[in-house]
Structures are given as structure tokens and as C-alpha cells.
């Protein structure tokens, strides 16, 4: 249960996550603040994977024996759960991939190669993760498209007036992240998508950071494509989702060939399978797909509305605590309507040193550019330290973070 009464930001969920119940060093309990990179897994998710391997390990879709039928049913049941989780009209519109990055690449190199021509405009933002930058650069080397970027303002929000000016270029695509993995900014996705559609563009939404932390409804957003990963939302690594509107997915050619994505094969031709299988070549990550369904079960049991509210309380509490430390420079919006991601710098102390010293206190944070080098360049930073919170964290973890930062400052002074 997540508790918010009278500002008491605590929970009793940590017991569900075996990895959190340990001392990372003698007398230093693990305080995990790196969920923006990858979340921890509850026992129920671990059990789901173990149950598959112990009791019905088999390949799916083509087998007719008992193990294969049980594995297929469990795998496709997870797809149904995922579809309901994001309110997709049909489970067949949810393609299993390895992660958000592969989902983005699938759209860019399938839909993009078919529909984009030299000179076509694609609008991104200055805060994008590399998975929504590098594939476009690769495509640009083959098709000389024009990349334009919505500016990020000093407070970490998008320049929406600048976006409206870019839309006058009549873009074919607007691709952006719903929540920044560096700044915690929650972008106005519905408005960005509406304006893009009015300009005749399709939209691709990177939901890697948003889907685990807030309700995301693809019908309400009217988004054309949504990409997200299992490992950031209590699920295993190696499993992700690409949601797409039916007409767009049916029009897209497959980019991987092999088993399961075909109906028939001849020596000189083949016919492609129906959705979603046309994009799922070869044996998939079966155990991971099944366990992602277990992660969905856990999140829905807690409640996505409750998780969002709880994390906003952590943000409010965190701002009040960390602002007491004069040496800390926080990046991103200072309002409370944002994700529980805190990227910061300490003057004269390298982020890697900060992370290493915090680690000695049992506090796991991330240091680096967080796969957002252009954004760090905009802030004239080679790197930053990032503490990211999830439903298993509470105010005591933030207290420990602040105490650790003060200790780092004292050491360097």
C-alpha cells in the first residue's frame, strides 16, 4: 500500500521486491534510485518467469502439445493485458519487441523508409533520448530528410510557440518523449499530437518513462505509435511493446524475416502473416513476455492513478528537501507536475565521483549523460547525477539521498 496521509510518504511495497531487502555494504541497506534506467522486479514477476521455465517451457504458436498450448495461451494473455493497460482497441495492435529502442527503430525503418522522401520534415525535441535521435540520423543518411527540433526552455519545458512555428514546415512526422528521463518534464502529449495531426503529420510517442508511472491511454491521446519497455515498469529485460494504429501497421512492411512472421513461403516468394505476428520474426522472449503480464497485474493492483499521485508527493517532498542544500543545482522544471526524476550537479565535483561516493552509502544513482548528450550540451554539462524514484521508494530514501549528498560535499571540501 502507498501511504500519503498527512504528508506521510511511505509504503510497505519494498517487501515485495527481494533485491531491496539487503545490505549492499555492511550496515548500508540498498537504496535504489536508478529506476529511470531499469526498475526492480517484484517476487510475482520473478515467480512468473520461474513458473514458465519449471513447468511449461516450450516454443509458442506452432506446437500442438500441452506445453506449447499452455505457453502460447500465457504469452498471448500477456498481450491482452498490455493492450488493456494502454487502452489499445485490440491486442493485435501491440507488437512485442525487445525494448523501446527496437520499437522506435521498427517504426522509423519500416514506416519511415516507405513513406518519407528527400526533403520531408521530421520534428523531434531537444530533450530526446538517443533512441529517438540516432535511428533518424541513420535514415537521413539514406533518405535526406530534414530534422527539426522543438527547443527546450531554461525551465526544462518545451517551447510550444517554437513548435507551432515548426509545424508551418508541414512535417510528415512528430516524434517525442512523453516524459524526460533527465529533466522529469511531462510534455503536453495530447496537445502536441493534436497539433501534429492538424498539420498532417503522424505521431510517434516514446513512453519509456511515462507508461510505468502514469495512466497512458492511446485512444484518449489519439497517438499513432507508442513505444515502451517492460524493464522500466517492473518487468524483465528484453521485452518491449510497439503499439500502432491498425491502418498504419497493416501498411508497414516487415523489417525482420523468418519464422512466425509468414503465412506461406515458396522458393521465390512469401506471404506475410497477420498482425501482430508480421513484425515478430523467430522465437520471441516468451518467459519475458509472460512475466511482463505479471508486472501489469502488479501495477494495476496498486493502481496507476495512485502511483502517479504518490510520485508527485515524492517530488513535492524532494524539492523541499534538496533545495536546503545550496551546492545542488537541479535541472528541469521546478513545478510539482513532473516525474520523480532529479538530475543535478555539484559545483566542482564530477558526477561520477558523486555517484561513487553515494554508492558507498548504499545509494544507487546514475551518473553520465543518460543517453541524452544533446540535452546535456544545451545545459553546458558533460554529465549529471540522476536520482530516479518509483513506487517502492519513500521519503526516507530521499532523506538518505540528501544526507549522502551532504557527505559528498563535506568530503570534497
User: Hey, which residues are catalytic here?
Assistant: 371
Give the torsion sign (CA, 277, 280, 284, 288).
Answer: negative
CA dihedral 264, 266, 271, 277 (to 10 degrees): 50
Q: What are phi and psi of 5, to 5 degrees?
A: -65, 130
80, 92, 121, 177, 278 from 249: Cα distances, Å: 18, 10, 21, 21, 9
Contact 336, 312 (CB under 8 A): yes
Residue 400 CB neighbours (<10 A): 18
Element spanning 243, H or E: strand 240-244
- Among 126, 184, 132, which residue's Cα sits nearest to residue 158? 126
Element spanning 271, H or E: strand 269-272
The CA distance from 400 to 389, in Å, is: 13
* 3 state DSSP class of 79: helix
Cis peptide before 276 (omega within 30 of 0): yes
Collect all residues with Cβ–Cβ distance below 8 Å to 290 and sequence separation of at least 6: 48, 49, 52, 71, 74, 75, 78
Q: What are phi and psi of 125, to 5 degrees?
A: -130, 165
Contact 151, 162 (CB under 8 A): yes
- Among 17, 9, 72, which residue's Cα sits nearest to residue 39? 17
The CA distance from 376 to 369, in Å, is: 7
The CA distance from 365 to 338, in Å, is: 19
Cell output for 403? 544526507
Full DSSP string of 23-78: EEETTEE-EE-BTTT-----HHHHHHHHHHHHH-----SS--SHHHHHHHHHHHHH
Amino acid at each position: 500500500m502507498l501511504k500519503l496521509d498527512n504528508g506521510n510518504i511511505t509504503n510497505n511495497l519494498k517487501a515485495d521486491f527481494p533485491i531491496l531487502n539487503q545490505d549492499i555494504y555492511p550496515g548500508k541497506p540498498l537504496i535504489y534510485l536508478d529506476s529511470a534506467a531499469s526498475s526492480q522486479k517484484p517476487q510475482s514477476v520473478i515467480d512468473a518467469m520461474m513458473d514458465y521455465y519449471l513447468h511449461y517451457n516450450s516454443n509458442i504458436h506452432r506446437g500442438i502439445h500441452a506445453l506449447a498450448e499452455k505457453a502460447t495461451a500465457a504469452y498471448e494473455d500477456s498481450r491482452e493485458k498490455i493492450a488493456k493497460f494502454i487502452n489499445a482497441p485490440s491486442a493485435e495492435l501491440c507488437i512485442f519487441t525487445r525494448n523501446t529502442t527496437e520499437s522506435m527503430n521498427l517504426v522509423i525503418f519500416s514506416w519511415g523508409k516507405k513513406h518519407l522522401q528527400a526533403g520531408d520534415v521530421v520534428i523531434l525535441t531537444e530533450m530526446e533520448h538517443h533512441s529517438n535521435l540516432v535511428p533518424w540520423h541513420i535514415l537521413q543518411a539514406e533518405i535526406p530528410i530534414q530534422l527539426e527540433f522543438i527547443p527546450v526552455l531554461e525551465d526544462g519545458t518545451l517551447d510550444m510557440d517554437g513548435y507551432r512555428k515548426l509545424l508551418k514546415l508541414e512535417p510528415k512526422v512528430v516524434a517525442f518523449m512523453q516524459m524526460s528521463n533527465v529533466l522529469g518534464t511531462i510534455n503536453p502529449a495530447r496537445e502536441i499530437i493534436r497539433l501534429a495531426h492538424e498539420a498532417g503529420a503522424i505521431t510517434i510517442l516514446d513512453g519509456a518513462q511515462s507508461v510505468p508511472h502514469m495512466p497512458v491511454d492511446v485512444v484518449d491521446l489519439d497517438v499513432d505509435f507508442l513505444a515502451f519497455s517492460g524493464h522500466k515498469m517492473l518487468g524483465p529485460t528484453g521485452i518491449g511493446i510497439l503499439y500502432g494504429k491498425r491502418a498504419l501497421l497493416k501498411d508497414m512492411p516487415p523489417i525482420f524475416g523468418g519464422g512466425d512472421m509468414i503465412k506461406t513461403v515458396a522458393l521465390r516468394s512469401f506471404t506475410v502473416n497477420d498482425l501482430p505476428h508480421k513484425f515478430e520474426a523467430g522465437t520471441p522472449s516468451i518467459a519475458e513476455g509472460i512475466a511482463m503480464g505479471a508486472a501489469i497485474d502488479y501495477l494495476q493492483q496498486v493502481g496507476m492513478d495512485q502511483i502517479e499521485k504518490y510520485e508527485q508527493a515524492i517530488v513535492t517532498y524532494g524539492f523541499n528537501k534538496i533545495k536546503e542544500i545550496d551546492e545542488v543545482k537541479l535541472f528541469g522544471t521546478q513545478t510539482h507536475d513532473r516525474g520523480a526524476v532529479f538530475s543535478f550537479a555539484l559545483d566542482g565535483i564530477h558526477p561520477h565521483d558523486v555517484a561513487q561516493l553515494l554508492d558507498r552509502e548504499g545509494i544507487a544513482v546514475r551518473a553520465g549523460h543518460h543517453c541524452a548528450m544533446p540535452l546535456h550540451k544545451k545545459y553546458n554539462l558533460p554529465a549529471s547525477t540522476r536520482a530516479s524514484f518509483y513506487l517502492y521508494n519513500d521519503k526516507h530514501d530521499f532523506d538518505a539521498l540528501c544526507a549522502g549528498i551532504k557527505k559528498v560535499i563535506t568530503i570534497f571540501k
